[in-house]
Structure formats: structure tokens, C-alpha cells
Amino acid sequence: MNDAMMGPVILDIEGLTLTKEDEEVLKHPAVGGVIFFSRNYESPEQLSQVAQHIRSIRPNFLMCVDQEGGRVQRFIRDFTRLPKLRILGDMVESKTYSLVECQKISEKLGLLMALEVRSLGVDLSFAPVLDLDMGISDVMRDRAIHSDPAIVSTLATAYIHGMAKAGMQATGKHFPGHGSVKLDSHLVLPEDQRTFSQISLDIQPFKTLIENGIAAIMPAHIVYPKIDPYPVGFSAYWLQSVLRQKLGFKGAIVSDDLSMEGASGIGDYATRARTALDAGCDFVLVCNNRKGAINVLEGIRPQFDEVTLRRRQSLLAKGEVPSWQQLSKTPLWQEAVTVMDELQIAV
């Protein structure tokens, strides 16, 4: 197998070590990466060993996690307990700090998160959230930075700069914005009855971050019946006409989890994956359902054209970072972790 031929499927593993089935699945040419969950993490040493084991099987492999902070942080023990990013918007709102000061704090948070994750061999955390907190969505409310797209864009840009200092790319989610629907797409398929012009505010942070060169976008499992009959992540209109052509996005499109209920109406797992890839996704996430993942691997014909491969490979981490054992001794980490003292004052 040519290791440069990174497949489109990102899936998970069973536990704290690789099983024989995990090893066989990871060798499949359609697989391009793995996403870690809390069940896969016991200690920094253990996770580092798992990452090394995976690299021994697939050297050119994208290893991912959701390490946003707040209630979405998969690696906790021995890691810095990261705050929800909403705290940044709250500090601007309360005038605890100026917007410029909050930018510096946001950059440190992005750097701190990325350094710790990368020190164990993980390439990418799917962050930041660019959804607006419109006071509607319970699932996004404490994950969204703010309701003002300008504030979200400014603070998210700073966060991404911090990630980049650690050689990590960024993923803006959940396009075109999950903050204006109440229902949780993990549980149902939310519908948004607004027209395209009515959602321009939600799209603004994505537009700004695309102009600033963000590497990846994750579309939402939301359907806009007045715009297109398909949920965004399965819609060629949204991914090609809007994201690629209208907004000029050149980076990687990573589907949200195909196991979510918001994706179930498309069909079985293979049909979901084919539809998402045909619509324009470069990667598809299949989490917490091994049978579904195998259904995908058996039911798709992955694309390996030059442009698609370049997009997939662009999400691999760049450069070297200190190992976990050395991390706390480095000036870069020491500078980044001072943000926690500033946040204690803010809280």
C-alpha cells in the first residue's frame, strides 16, 4: 500500500490499545485517519504508545481528537483542563478585558491546546467552533464564542494563530452555522426554515476565516428546505456552489460524524459516505459504530486525485514539537499555560 494514498475515511478504535481488528481495519486503503475519544485515553504515556503503534502501521495517517475545552475535551487526566471558549466572548461582553487583550488570551489557549495534543503524536483537534450563540441552540450555547460574528471571527482567528504556532491546522465548524436551530443533530435532523439571505449573519465567521486561509471546514447536519433538500454535509449545492465557488474555500471539507441521527435519513452508512463524498467532502467521519465503518469501507470507491489528496494531507501536523516529557520545560508551553492564571482572574 502506498502510504501517500491517504483514504477519505476517519474512524475510531475500540479501547486503550489496538485490537487485531483495529489493526486490520486501519490497513484498509480507504482509511485515512483515526479519531480518539475519552475511552481511548488513560494517560499521556499510553496514548503516545497507541499513536506510535498506529504510525508503525500507517506512517502517513491523520490522528484527530475533539479537544475544544469545556465539556468537549477528550483528554483530561494530566492535561490542562481547558475552559469552554464561550469564556472569551463573556470576557468581551463584561469588559473584563478589551477585545485586543482577549485576542492574546485566545491565541494562548489555541497554542496550549495544540502543544499538549501534538506532544503525544496527535495531528489535529477539530476546532474552533464558529457557530453563533443566538440563544436558541442548547448544544452549541456554551461551545460558541459569542453571538456577534465580528467578535467570533476576531477571537477564532487569534485561536487559530495559536494552533499554527504549534504546527496544527484548524477546522471551522459547523458550516453554515448551528447556533440558530434548537434541536441537536446528534439526536435528530434539525430544519432551518430561513432563506439564504436570512442566514448571512451565521455564515460571516466562516467567510472571514476562509479569507484568512483556514485549512478545513466541517459542515453541519442541518437541512434548509427553502435552499436545498439535502442536509448541508450531503449537499453539492452547499459544498460546491456555496463553499467552494461563492466563498472560495480551497481547503479540506470534513464531514461531521455519519453516525449522528442528523445523517441517518440519507441511508445506510455506505450510502451516507458516498453521498457526502460525491457532494464534495474530502474526509468522512464514522464514529462509534464499527459495523457502520466496515459498511463504508466495503461500499465506497475512494478518490485519490491530486487535488483531493493534497487537501487531505494538508491537515497533517507541521514541524516538530517537544515530547510530553519535555513539554513543561519549554518556554513556548510555559508562556501558553500562563493563560490559565489570567482566566482565573476573569472567572
Active site residues: 186, 256
CA 323 – CA 166 distance, rounded (Å): 12
Contact 27, 1 (CB under 8 A): yes
The helix-helix angle for 99-118 and 339-346 (nearest 10°) equals 130
The set of residues, in sequence order, having a beta carbon less than 8 Å from that of 302 and lying 6+ positions away, is 7, 8, 9, 29, 30, 277
Alpha-helix residue ranges (DSSP H) falling in 282-338: 290-299, 306-313, 324-327, 331-337
- Supply 84's cell numbers: 469552554
Contact 66, 41 (CB under 8 A): no
CA 133 – CA 241 distance, rounded (Å): 26
Q: Which residues of 5-16 are buried (b: 16+ CB within 10 A; e: fewer)?
A: ebbbbbbbbeee
